[in-house]
Amino acid sequence: MRLVAEGLSARRGEDLIFQDVSFEIAGGEALVVKGANGSGKSTLLRVLAGLLPAEKGTAKLLAAAQPVERLSEAAHYLGHRNAMKRELTVDENLSFWKAFFGDFAGGTGVSADEAAESVGLGGIVHLPFGYLSAGQQRRMAMAKLLVAWRPVWILDEPTAALDAAAEAMFAGLVTAHLAHGGIAIAATHQPLGLEGVKELRMKGFEYSSLETWA
């Protein structure tokens, strides 16, 4: 499986945010998108997730376990917001997402209980999501990635405002996802604790080619 982005550019309002961004990542690899505030990291991720149209260019998932017309069909997107209903319990939220997404070919999601266990919060799935602390809410948003198998994880500042233990936990989830042949693309200012990941540096209208961290 390969994710191939070619010649992507994107506009917000009147402004061209970046242009001619190309990269390729294979199953089992992660790409970290870096760059200054406002350089277009979130915009790029939203384009990849199908939430914003590209001005030009394409992003395709090739040789996936099932045919895909749009990359978004095979992707989980974890944005700045947690995408959970405050009034519903954690279990209801996670169960909703599990049924909504369904599994992509090649993997199986876990139950809401197991997903909560995996993010270290097994005992509180009966609570309304809104009762959880900010860090617990973010962890549960990460659990959403586990309830349905999607080979591509698109992650925007996934560990912002989390403690060191949560960062390490999340690095473990991403490592397991890559070991299962998945792909992760993450915009972050913090190291994710992953080794040998590729880096894409956004510079507004320019971008550098891929580098691999030692």
Ligand X SMILES: Nc1ncnc2c1ncn2[C@@H]1O[C@H](COP(=O)(O)OP(=O)(O)OP(=O)(O)O)[C@@H](O)[C@H]1O
Q: Quick check: 89 binds ligand X (CB under 6 A)?
A: no
The interface region with ligand X, picked from 33-41, 63-71, 97-105, 158-166 by CB under 6 A, is 33-41
> CA–CA separation, 101 vs 154, rounded Å?
15
Asked if 177 and 184 count as a contact pair (C-beta separation under 8 A), the reply is: yes
Here the tokens at position 38 are 């406002």
Q: Which stretch binds ligand X (CB under 6 A): 38-46, 56-64, 96-104, 159-167?
A: 38-46
Under the binding rule (CB under 6 A), the answer on residue 37 touching ligand X is yes
- 67, 59 Cβ separation under 8 angstroms: no
Helix/strand/coil for 4: strand
Q: Single out the residue of 9, 19, 42, 95 in contact with ligand X (rule: CB under 6 A).
A: 42
Show the binding pattern over residues 94-133: x = contacts ligand X (CB under 6 A), - = does not.
----------------------------------------
Report the residue from 12, 70, 86, 180 that binds ligand X according to the rule CB under 6 A: 12
Q: Indicate which single residue of 7, 20, 38, 86 sits in contact with ligand X (rule: CB under 6 A).
A: 38
* 8-state DSSP, 92: H
Both structure tokens of 86: 């405050």
Radius of gyration of the chain (CA): 17
Burial of 15 (0-12, 13-18, 19+ CB in 10 A): exposed
- List of residues contacting ligand X (CB under 6 A): 12-13, 15, 17, 35, 37-43, 187
